[in-house]
Amino acid sequence: MIALITGASSGIGEVTARRVAREPGARLVLVARRRDRLEALAARLPGVETLVLAEDLTDAEAPARIEAAVRERFGRLDLLVNNAGGGWRGRFADVGTKNLRQTLELNLFAQAALTEALLPLLRESAPSAIVNVASTAGRVARPGSGGYSASKFAFIGWSDALHLEEKPHGVHVGIVNPGFVSTEGFPQKELTDSRATRWMVSEPEKVAEAIMQVGPGRKAERYAPRPYALAAAARLLLPNLTRRILGGQAGDAMATSTKVDENQASLKRS
């Protein structure tokens, strides 16, 4: 299996790369901005052929360079994991449309541009799969993260349509929705410091397993950890109650937990 993982320099992307590397015959394409981190990761995967591509996905030329490099080295692609992304905290009255635009540019358009470039190769390699790492915030919005939620809601909607379009071509498209996951860039300190909210924080290993279920396992959608699916269900079935909860103390605690993340975050930072 030849798998390309974006945001592979740390956090969910790094853990996913290590998980995929355990599969028989796995070969990896590691994509992120920090070449030193990618090369260090590749060195920790002995016996696994890796291609390291240090790219900023917001660069309009990056998708074409990535596609050319993968085609030249491997000639095929079995799994694309669109994990890179980011979030900037702020209430709309304070951060406005500038925040909304930059978040959509990174979390939707950059992922779509890479997918567009790699789609012919994925079709040629069918059966193949795309896993779009969205977020539970793409089903349930919180105060202070409207831009992030908007980008992930859009990412999920686009993913659902893409699945229906690409299924006849043998390309499966699935979605993984992490909840609060402790990573280098998202330490979730505001939640882990409190007994009342510590239980809400999970580990990237659970997300990596969900990615394997959705990609090679060809499941439609997974939450990580799975109980977060209850929040999405509550938003649909009990919208008034969900709003009251998110507008109270629990919502305030969760609203403070969104910050810029290097791995699943701002690819624009140097």
Flag whether pLDDT at 188 surpasses 90: no
Tell me the CA end-to-end span of the chain in Å, nearest whole number: 32
C-alpha span between 129 and 131 (Å, rounded): 7
Strands (E), the chain: 2-6, 27-32, 50-54, 79-82, 128-133, 171-178, 180-181, 201-202, 221-224
CA 77/CA 67 separation, integer angstroms: 10
pLDDT at residue 191, rounded to an integer: 57
Query: Does residue 115 have a pLDDT over 70?
Result: yes
Beta pairing partners, 176? 133, 222
Q: State the sign of the Cα–Cα–Cα–Cα dihedral 128, 36, 265, 204.
A: positive
Mean pLDDT of 130-137: 96
CA 177 to each of CA 70, 124, 208, 226, 247: distance values in angstroms, whole numbers, following the listed order: 27, 28, 11, 9, 22
For residue 177, report the phi and psi dihedrals to the nearest 5 degrees. Answer: -115, 95
Diameter of the chain measured on Cα atoms: 54
pLDDT greater at residue 3 or residue 248? 3
CATH ID of 2-255, from 3.40.1390.10, 3.40.50.40, 3.40.50.720, 1.10.1060.10: 3.40.50.720
pLDDT given at position 253: 47
Residue 85 has pLDDT above 70, yes or no: yes
pLDDT of residue 161: 98
Catalytic residue among 3, 17, 31, 148: 148
Determine whether 148 is an active site residue: yes
0.75 surpassed by pTM: yes
Which sequence spans correspond to the domains of the chain?
2-255
pLDDT at 266: 37
